[in-house]
Structure 1
Amino acid sequence: MAKINPNEIINNGKFNGFHLTLFLWSFLVILFDGYDLSVYGTVLPILMEEWNMTSVEAGTVGSYGLFGMMFGAIIFGIMADRIGRKKVILINTLLFSAFTLLCAFAGDATTFGIYRFIAGLGLGGIMPNVAALVTDYAPRTMKIKLVSITLVSFAVGGALAPTVGVLLINNFGWQSVFWVAGLPLVALPFMAKQLPESTSYLIRTGKKEQLFATLKKINSQLTFSKNDEIEEVKATETKVPVVGLFKEHRAVSTVAFWVAFFCALLMVYGLNTWLPKLMIEAGYGLNSSLTFLIALQGGAVIGILALSSLCEKFGSKKVIITSYIAGAIALSLLGFGGNTVLIFFLVAIAGAATTGSQVLIQAYVTSFYPDQMRSTGLGVASGVGRLGGMTGPILGGFLLTLTVPNFVNFLIFAGVGVIAAVALSLIADKYSASNILARENQALDSAKGKEVAASLE
């Protein structure tokens, strides 16, 4: 009989086929998450004309999906820590794919809004749980990078939506971009077979054989027997999962994450919804305005890939704060116009600082909370953030009705980025689960070193 420590096996593991399969499925799911979120902004100018919507009405319809995401992030985040992340990911994928597909058959704004709300439930729960599951199984030296590269697909999907719009809308109508959103439904049976369940859930439910089978995929040289015991997972005992987010010196950091998420998602969804319309107002055609949305998401992709490496070197907090400040400067300058090349450059920086930084915050949160409350922590933060996501489209629509100068619109979004940077500065990294674990391992290694030295004497 042996004592098995799943976390130690996972942390010391090497990237292999098991990790690659998990990464590819996670990448695909988050790609369509980003696609489905950006698709409304892609068709918004057409829907406003076809359904005779005002800017405020269009912003309100855009907020329906985000309203659903707020509930989905909180409900499914908490649910995943109870019934398992794999089940929740499958449920979420079914919800957001099926009901985004149904948007293609909506005949009016009300029906469209209802479908967007239900799809939003799935969209809100998917990213926190995918990020948490990837963190569960990533080797210690690759956690932030692997989560960041997985979530970069959110920006790829965001860029894919306007790209598909440019290719399909003129020939097949606005409905065609929603047809594409149904593709993940085909993949669900394969995901159900190949996605692993989180170790904390398997341990808590006593599914030892399934846990050992998964650990063997991480390290094929390991052997297990039925008599092997699993080391208990240190957990914060509480009947209300959210309460644990405020224990052990985490209260201030938890609130700071919530504020940062609110501001970040306000910027992300405000810009994703209204950037094409703002560019049309500035004199660009539909296809030309959609290329700015592609540049926004392209900047996010480049930003995530570049900034994730910097996060591992200098720490997530410093890098993300710097990114938001740079984004605020870019948005401020964007409002004053310039030549086309300069505008594309500033839009790309804004993408890196908004969508890109939001993805990095998700990875940051997964390393901050202990594994037994990781989905809850990220889910609740995302749920609170969805309030900002709902505010973004409505705020943008309201500003357009005021017919204020373009630079005022961008300055307001820039100010929100500054608030996000200030909130992030309040997070206490010394209380994060990853840093506590690192200190414990360092102390353990030091103690072992002293024992070896004493034995040699």
Structure 2
Amino acid sequence: MTSLSVKNFLEASKFKRFHIGLLLWGLFIISFEGYDLVVFGSVIPSLTKEWGLSPIQAGLMSSYGLFGMMFGSIILSLLADQFGRKPLIITSVIFFSVATFISGCATNATLFSLCRFLAGIGFGGALPSVISLLTEYMPKTNKNKTITLALTGNQVGGILAPLVGMIFLTTSGWRPVLWFSGIPLLFIPFMLKHLPESPIFMLRNGKLDELERTLTKVNPEYRTLMNDNMPEPEMKTGTNKIPFVALFQNKLALTTSLFCIVYFMGLLMIYGLNTWLPKLMQAAGYPLLSSLGFALVLNGGALLGTIVTGVIADKKGSKALITGLYVLGALCLALMGYKSNLFLLYLLIAIAGICTMGNQNLLNAFVSQYYPANVRSTGVGLANGIGRLGGMIGPTMGGMLLSAKAPVIICFIAFALPCVIAALALLGVRKKHEETVVIPPEAELTS
């Protein structure tokens, strides 16, 4: 049994109960990660009033969580490629659930900011490992659809946060909105039992019995299917054992750098909008509950759009689609700053959700398939980690613009420009060739 034969078996398999279960776990984990990320935007008006925070202070509080995400994305993703996806996913879930729950008990901005930083480490570690696990197990014909569907959890969480906020903010205050994030802790025992480990990791570490049990769940007749003469692509062999270094070898250096730029710009827009859209709409004259409704439309548009674009990507490819959506997103964001009727405004917000958050889901699926399995988590994690720098700048930039009393149109144009830069960076990404794939000799284990 080799890593290549396992890879080909998994990619040629049919979408069955095993895949549905893995997809649901991914959706569940990312939904609560998305909730914990977006919930700050729902409680920020209450925190600003209770603790007397300025817009800049509130923006910095949001950035602490993103600063933690940068560390989590890079460090925990590197550890996932070295020590396995499953334990890092579970550790990440515990981190962000516990920290966000405790933040609901905070009595000052300092403790709240510390909790956001610790939660951010969990946020950063969960996403790349979940994406990598889905990429490795999902059939090739369903890969984009299933990965992007799981990533709609970001939008499910983004919709859930303002809904929970609407329920509790007017009756019980902001604290129960954060305590809601402790729910995933109840499911940790089930994750330990049912979440599979990376097949490449099991091969590399000689866990062949565990791998056999997992492949049997995918298809009980896996031995017969793997003994067939399945075509295997030629793969260039590398000797580097350090996943991070491999991202800059075998003609991957330029592409890795460009991916980092795209993520930086994309997450700047996403976290800036998620943090400040309710406040921007308040500044434009809408009441708080209506402003939270705009956040629902933003995330709802992203959810529906992600499903549609995932189907299109499986049939037509991802790169051109992602690039075009960024250009469309820039146009919609710029137009949102102008006075318009309510229907048109909702339409622009929904399309902007597709082109920013929805497009980020498609980008994650594209990047995870671009990198080889032995550096997949590290590659996705590095891009997400650098992207968190943009995510930190986004809320702070929005806070500075609001503090300077900049016109609403200027605020939206400021969030539209990164869309253009992201599209230009994607144009420079070279087409993936087999020689970009690096499989160390030690991965070629036999049984």
**Range class of TM-score, shorter chain:** over 0.9
Of the candidates 364, 367, 380, which is equivalent to residue 378 of structure 1? 380
Residue in structure 2 matched with residue 110 of structure 1 by the alignment: 110
* CA shift in 2, pair 1:3/1:24, >3 Å: closer
Instruction: Give yes or no for contact 2:238–2:438 (8 Å, CA) kept in 1.
Output: no
TM-score, length-normalised on structure 2?
A: 0.93
Instruction: Give yes or no for contact 2:370–2:432 (8 Å, CA) kept in 1.
Output: no
Map 1:121-132 to 2 at 5 A. Answer: 121-132=121-132
Residue in structure 1 matched with residue 75 of structure 2 by the alignment: 75
After superposition, give the CA deviation of every residue in 1:406-446 in whole Å (9 maximum; x if it has no partner): 10111111111100111111111233789999xxxxxxxxx
* CA shift in 2, pair 1:25/1:434, >3 Å: farther
* CA shift in 2, pair 1:435/1:336, >3 Å: farther
Counterpart residue type for residue 304 of structure 2: I
Aligned residues: 431
Instruction: Give yes or no for contact 1:430–1:436 (8 Å, CA) kept in 2.
Output: no
Residue in structure 2 matched with residue 260 of structure 1 by the alignment: 262
Residue in structure 1 matched with residue 244 of structure 2 by the alignment: 242
Query: Secondary structure of the equivalent of 2:340?
Result: coil
Counterpart residue type for residue 33 of structure 1: E
* CA shift in 2, pair 1:3/1:417, >3 Å: closer
Residue in structure 1 matched with residue 402 of structure 2 by the alignment: 400
Percent sequence identity over aligned pairs: 44
Matched, 1:176 2:181: no
Residue in structure 2 matched with residue 367 of structure 1 by the alignment: 369
Residue in structure 1 matched with residue 164 of structure 2 by the alignment: 164
Give the drift of 1:16.
Answer: 1.2
Distance in 2 (alpha carbons) for counterparts of 1:233 and 1:253: 19
Instruction: Give yes or no for contact 1:69–1:123 (8 Å, CA) kept in 2.
Output: yes
Counterpart residue type for residue 371 of structure 2: Y
Distance in 2 (alpha carbons) for counterparts of 1:288 and 1:331: 19
* CA shift in 2, pair 1:185/1:319, >3 Å: same
Distance in 2 (alpha carbons) for counterparts of 1:221 and 1:423: 44
Counterpart residue type for residue 285 of structure 1: P
Distance in 1 (alpha carbons) for counterparts of 2:179 and 2:102: 8
Matched, 1:31 2:31: yes
Counterpart residue type for residue 418 of structure 1: V
Residue in structure 1 matched with residue 18 of structure 2 by the alignment: 18
Residue in structure 2 matched with residue 66 of structure 1 by the alignment: 66
Of the candidates 340, 343, 352, which is equivalent to residue 341 of structure 1? 343
Counterpart residue type for residue 167 of structure 2: L
Give the drift of 1:234.
Answer: 6.9
Query: Secondary structure of the equivalent of 1:182?
Result: helix
Distance in 2 (alpha carbons) for counterparts of 1:217 and 1:113: 43
* CA shift in 2, pair 1:339/1:436, >3 Å: farther
Moved more, 215-224 or 386-395: 215-224
Distance in 2 (alpha carbons) for counterparts of 1:423 and 1:242: 21
Map 1:426-445 to 2 at 5 A. Answer: 426-431=428-433
Counterpart residue type for residue 82 of structure 1: Q
Give the drift of 1:236.
Answer: 3.4
Runs (5+) with no aligned partner, structure 2: 225-231, 440-447
TM-score, length-normalised on structure 1?
A: 0.91
Counterpart residue type for residue 370 of structure 1: P
Runs (5+) with no aligned partner, structure 1: 225-230, 438-457
Counterpart residue type for residue 66 of structure 2: L
Instruction: Give yes or no for contact 1:429–1:435 (8 Å, CA) kept in 2.
Output: no
Map 1:210-225 to 2 at 5 A. Answer: 210-223=210-223
Give the drift of 1:313.
Answer: 2.3
Residue in structure 2 matched with residue 303 of structure 1 by the alignment: 305
Counterpart residue type for residue 73 of structure 1: S
Moved more, 302-311 or 359-368: 302-311
Residue in structure 1 matched with residue 97 of structure 2 by the alignment: 97
After superposition, give the CA deviation of every residue in 1:132-161 in whole Å (9 maximum; x if it has no partner): 001110011111111111111111111110
* CA shift in 2, pair 1:80/1:337, >3 Å: same
After superposition, give the CA deviation of every residue in 1:4-29 in whole Å (9 maximum; x if it has no partner): 92112211111111111111111100
**Greater CA radius of gyration, 1 or 2?**
1
Moved more, 106-115 or 212-221: 212-221
Counterpart residue type for residue 185 of structure 2: L
Instruction: Give yes or no for contact 1:368–1:433 (8 Å, CA) kept in 2.
Output: no
Instruction: Give yes or no for contact 2:31–2:156 (8 Å, CA) kept in 1.
Output: yes
Residue in structure 1 matched with residue 87 of structure 2 by the alignment: 87
* CA shift in 2, pair 1:118/1:152, >3 Å: same
Residue in structure 1 matched with residue 229 of structure 2 by the alignment: none
Residue in structure 2 matched with residue 47 of structure 1 by the alignment: 47
Residue in structure 1 matched with residue 444 of structure 2 by the alignment: none
* CA shift in 2, pair 1:4/1:408, >3 Å: closer
